[in-house]
Amino acid sequence: MSAEFSFQASFEAFTNQLAAVVFYAFSFNGVDIPLVMIWLISGAIIFTCYLGFINIRGFGYAIRRLFAKPEPGSSGEISPYKALTTALSGTVGTGNIAGVAVAISLGGPGATFWMIMAGLLGMSTKFVECTLAVKYRQVNADGTVSGGPMYYIKAALDKYQLPKLGTALALFFSVAVIFGSAGFVHVNQGFVQVQSVTGFDNAWLFGVIYAALIGAVIIGGIKSIANVTSKLVPLMCAIYLLAALVVIGSHLTAVPAALWLIVQSAFAPDAAYGGFIGVLIQGFRRAAYSNEAGIGSSPIAHAAAKTKDPVSQGFVGLLEPFIDTVVICTITALVIILTGAYQMQGLDGVQITSSAFASVFDWFPLVLMVALLL
């Protein structure tokens, strides 16, 4: 066995054991429901109701805050806009290109409806996360900022005289976020698409090149990351959405039927997809992976925003699930449903989306490859 396959087998065994703990599930009507999904959904619903549907009421203000100039004397390192694009750089891509394909192939077209619902509810969760990240961040002597869940978790539990538990949970999050946000899946799906389009099959070399390019960006800190993502994220979104809209445009007359199929399948799904509960879980599960609401990675970027008002950055943060899930995931879903790519056998993840793109122009998978790599 080569070193590559030996490492892959060992890492796969480790991740399988870890996943069994993190995604511990109970069975309901033959469908496995991860407890962590119930927790995320419940939290999103509670935040939405408690805050008076802040995801809807605050949308207009969030747009205005996105491009507002930071207040004079504000702490922080990057603008609210750059904080958003930095956070989006970790979510836009694999989750709403390959993840949507997986959701529809496992849950049917109806999973799209529940992804949209999860995205809307997730806006409230992001509002809370990003507000807390700015409120409890630490501004260092050199002007740099440190913040994120590890800071506000500890601060909250300190107030309840549970400092040791706060420290333990903060440390646990710091370790867990490395595995959850390290980009393994992003790189893997990017390589799958590169291999499919170009025939290049040296996974190790691809990984080394990718790591070197990413390292050159992150070594400069949050300012360097934000400067790059503020340009690449809009470019990536524009390239992908334009290509996707071309595919949708080629099936324009079938769009109303596809939208009706999404709604109909959400409430009366095929038993082959696990029934109503199975479709709902697939939708919420993939949405959580796509927009990372409640995961805790995005608040780390938002904590660095230049602002005096934590709540204002919370409003900017709630735009993330809307852009990522409600807009981009829905566009991807329409592409896959209109072309029927989700019904093709032997395809998985990004291969399904690539097949949908190729149904219009043979070279469109190349556009998808560029979008994924960006």
Phi, psi angle pair for 145, to nearest 5°: -120, 140
User: Is residue 7 assigned to a domain?
Assistant: no
- In this prediction, residue 183 carries a pLDDT of 62
Instruction: Give the pLDDT confidence score for residue 245 in this predicted structure.
Output: 94
Question: In this predicted structure, what is the pLDDT of residue 323?
Answer: 92
Task: Write out the two tokens for 135.
Answer: 């409120």
Say if 139 falls within a structural domain.
yes
Domain span at 340: 23-373
- Work out the angle at residue 24's Cα, subtended by the Cα atoms of residues 349 and 104, and round it to the nearest 5 degrees: 25
Q: Which residues of the chain have a pLDDT value below 50?
A: none
3-state secondary structure of 53: coil
Instruction: Of 286, 276, 268, give the one whose Cα is nearest residue 342.
Output: 286
The helix (H) or strand (E) run that includes residue 27 is strand 25-28
16 lies in some domain? no
Task: Give alpha helix (H) positions in the chain.
Answer: 3-22, 35-50, 54-57, 59-66, 80-89, 94-107, 110-135, 149-159, 163-180, 184-198, 203-218, 221-249, 255-267, 275-291, 298-302, 310-317, 319-321, 330-339, 350-358, 364-373
Task: Give me 17's structure tokens.
Answer: 């054991």
Q: Are 148 and 301 in contact (CB under 8 A)?
A: no
- Within a domain: 308: yes
CA angle 203, 93, 264 (to 5 degrees): 125
Structure tokens at 279: 């479709």
Q: Are 74 and 310 in contact (CB under 8 A)?
A: no
CB 122 within 8 A of CB 288: yes
Tokens of 60: 């207009």
Counting the structural domains of the chain, the total is 1
What integer pLDDT is reported at residue 2 of this predicted model?
58
Rounded CA-CA distance 234/237 in Å is 5
Question: In terms of C-beta density within 10 A (0-12 exposed, 13-18 middle, 19 or more buried), how is residue 265 classed?
Answer: buried
Residue 191 half-sphere exposure toward CB, CA atoms < 13 A? 17
pLDDT of residue 322: 93
Within-domain flag for 178: yes
Distance CA 278, CA 210 (A): 36
Let me know the angle formed at the C-alpha of 212 by 207 and 218, rounded to the nearest 5 degrees. Answer: 120
- Beta-carbon contacts of 52 under 8 Å, excluding residues fewer than 6 positions away, are none
Q: Is residue 255 part of a domain?
A: yes
**Is 263 a domain residue?**
yes
Q: Is 43 among the domain residues? A: yes
CB 299 within 8 A of CB 147: yes
